[in-house]
Protein backbone atom coordinates (compact mmCIF):
# COMPACT_ATOMS: atom_id res chain seq x y z
CA UNK A 1 0.00 0.00 0.00
CA UNK A 2 1.36 3.45 -0.94
CA UNK A 3 0.84 5.45 2.26
CA UNK A 4 2.19 8.70 0.77
CA UNK A 5 -1.20 9.48 -0.79
CA UNK A 6 -3.29 8.64 2.29
CA UNK A 7 -5.62 5.69 2.55
CA UNK A 8 -9.02 4.53 3.75
CA UNK A 9 -9.68 1.24 5.53
CA UNK A 10 -12.88 -0.35 6.77
CA UNK A 11 -12.71 -1.72 10.32
CA UNK A 12 -14.60 -4.89 9.37
CA UNK A 13 -12.01 -5.65 6.66
CA UNK A 14 -9.14 -5.81 9.19
CA UNK A 15 -8.20 -9.07 10.93
CA UNK A 16 -8.95 -9.13 14.69
CA UNK A 17 -6.03 -9.99 16.95
CA UNK A 18 -6.91 -11.41 20.36
CA UNK A 19 -5.29 -11.49 23.76
CA UNK A 20 -6.75 -13.85 26.36
CA UNK A 21 -4.41 -14.41 29.27
CA UNK A 22 -4.05 -13.33 32.91
CA UNK A 23 -1.14 -10.93 32.28
CA UNK A 24 -2.31 -8.92 29.24
CA UNK A 25 -6.05 -9.32 29.67
CA UNK A 26 -8.93 -10.34 27.45
CA UNK A 27 -9.70 -8.23 24.37
CA UNK A 28 -9.73 -8.06 20.60
CA UNK A 29 -8.16 -5.31 18.53
CA UNK A 30 -7.84 -4.36 14.88
CA UNK A 31 -4.84 -2.26 13.91
CA UNK A 32 -5.97 -0.02 11.07
CA UNK A 33 -2.82 1.97 10.33
CA UNK A 34 0.78 1.04 11.17
CA UNK A 35 4.11 0.58 9.48
CA UNK A 36 3.53 -3.20 9.42
CA UNK A 37 -0.02 -3.10 8.03
CA UNK A 38 -0.15 -0.05 5.79
CA UNK A 39 3.37 1.34 5.43
CA UNK A 40 2.35 4.46 7.33
CA UNK A 41 4.59 6.09 9.91
CA UNK A 42 4.51 8.30 13.01
CA UNK A 43 1.10 7.07 14.27
CA UNK A 44 -0.43 3.65 14.85
CA UNK A 45 -4.18 3.41 15.28
CA UNK A 46 -7.01 0.95 15.50
CA UNK A 47 -10.13 -0.17 17.33
CA UNK A 48 -10.20 -2.35 20.45
CA UNK A 49 -13.18 -4.33 21.74
CA UNK A 50 -13.67 -5.60 25.26
CA UNK A 51 -16.61 -7.95 25.70
CA UNK A 52 -18.49 -8.03 28.99
CA UNK A 53 -15.89 -8.65 31.71
CA UNK A 54 -13.00 -7.93 29.31
CA UNK A 55 -9.97 -5.83 30.13
CA UNK A 56 -6.65 -4.55 28.91
CA UNK A 57 -4.46 -5.09 31.98
CA UNK A 58 -2.39 -2.33 33.58
CA UNK A 59 0.74 -1.67 31.54
CA UNK A 60 3.19 0.98 30.38
CA UNK A 61 4.89 1.84 27.10
CA UNK A 62 7.05 4.70 25.91
CA UNK A 63 4.64 5.77 23.16
CA UNK A 64 2.04 8.32 24.25
CA UNK A 65 -1.50 7.15 23.51
CA UNK A 66 -5.07 8.43 23.15
CA UNK A 67 -8.31 6.48 23.52
CA UNK A 68 -11.69 7.64 22.20
CA UNK A 69 -14.55 5.53 23.57
CA UNK A 70 -16.95 4.69 20.75
CA UNK A 71 -19.53 2.68 22.68
CA UNK A 72 -20.05 1.03 26.02
CA UNK A 73 -19.09 1.83 29.60
CA UNK A 74 -15.71 1.24 31.16
CA UNK A 75 -13.21 2.20 33.80
CA UNK A 76 -9.79 3.43 32.77
CA UNK A 77 -6.81 3.31 35.13
CA UNK A 78 -4.39 6.24 34.90
CA UNK A 79 -1.53 5.88 37.36
CA UNK A 80 -3.08 5.38 40.79
CA UNK A 81 -6.59 6.62 39.90
CA UNK A 82 -9.59 5.19 38.10
CA UNK A 83 -12.03 7.13 35.93
CA UNK A 84 -15.34 6.03 34.41
CA UNK A 85 -15.57 6.39 30.62
CA UNK A 86 -18.53 6.27 28.23
CA UNK A 87 -19.13 6.78 24.51
CA UNK A 88 -17.57 10.15 23.67
CA UNK A 89 -14.92 10.04 26.42
CA UNK A 90 -11.39 10.85 25.25
CA UNK A 91 -8.41 9.70 27.32
CA UNK A 92 -4.87 11.10 27.06
CA UNK A 93 -2.11 8.75 28.22
CA UNK A 94 1.38 10.26 28.53
CA UNK A 95 4.54 8.27 27.88
CA UNK A 96 5.27 5.57 30.50
CA UNK A 97 2.12 6.20 32.59
CA UNK A 98 0.66 3.02 34.07
CA UNK A 99 -2.74 2.54 32.43
CA UNK A 100 -5.38 -0.01 31.55
CA UNK A 101 -9.08 -0.23 30.80
CA UNK A 102 -11.86 -2.65 31.70
CA UNK A 103 -15.43 -3.11 30.57
CA UNK A 104 -17.75 -2.09 33.40
CA UNK A 105 -21.00 -2.56 31.51
CA UNK A 106 -23.13 -5.30 30.04
CA UNK A 107 -22.44 -4.35 26.40
CA UNK A 108 -19.19 -4.46 24.41
CA UNK A 109 -16.80 -1.59 25.15
CA UNK A 110 -15.24 -0.30 21.90
CA UNK A 111 -12.57 2.37 21.69
CA UNK A 112 -10.36 3.89 19.02
CA UNK A 113 -6.69 4.07 19.98
CA UNK A 114 -3.79 6.10 18.60
CA UNK A 115 -0.17 5.49 19.58
CA UNK A 116 2.74 7.83 18.83
CA UNK A 117 4.71 5.04 17.13
CA UNK A 118 5.38 3.90 13.57
CA UNK A 119 3.96 0.46 14.24
CA UNK A 120 2.98 -2.07 16.88
CA UNK A 121 6.44 -3.63 16.64
CA UNK A 122 7.79 -0.34 18.05
CA UNK A 123 5.59 -0.51 21.16
CA UNK A 124 7.08 -2.47 24.06
CA UNK A 125 4.21 -3.33 26.41
CA UNK A 126 5.39 -3.69 30.02
CA UNK A 127 2.56 -5.28 32.01
CA UNK A 128 2.31 -4.74 35.74
CA UNK A 129 2.07 -8.48 36.50
CA UNK A 130 4.98 -9.28 34.20
CA UNK A 131 7.56 -7.68 36.45
- pLDDT at residue 37, rounded to an integer: 86
- pLDDT at residue 2, rounded to an integer: 58
Please report the sign of the dihedral spanned by the C-alpha atoms of residue 101, residue 106, residue 110, residue 111. negative
Please, which residues have CB within 8 angstroms of residue 86's CB and are 6 or more apart in sequence?
69, 72, 73, 74
pLDDT averages per 10-residue partition of the chain, 131 residues: 76 95 96 91 96 97 98 98 98 98 98 96 87 46
CB atoms within 10 A of CB 70: 17
Q: What is the DSSP secondary structure assignment for residue 39, as one 8-state letter?
A: S
- pLDDT at residue 5, rounded to an integer: 73
Amino acid sequence: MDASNGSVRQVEDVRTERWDDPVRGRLGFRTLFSSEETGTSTLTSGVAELERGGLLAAHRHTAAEVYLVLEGHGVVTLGDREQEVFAGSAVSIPSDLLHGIRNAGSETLRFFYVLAADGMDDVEYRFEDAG
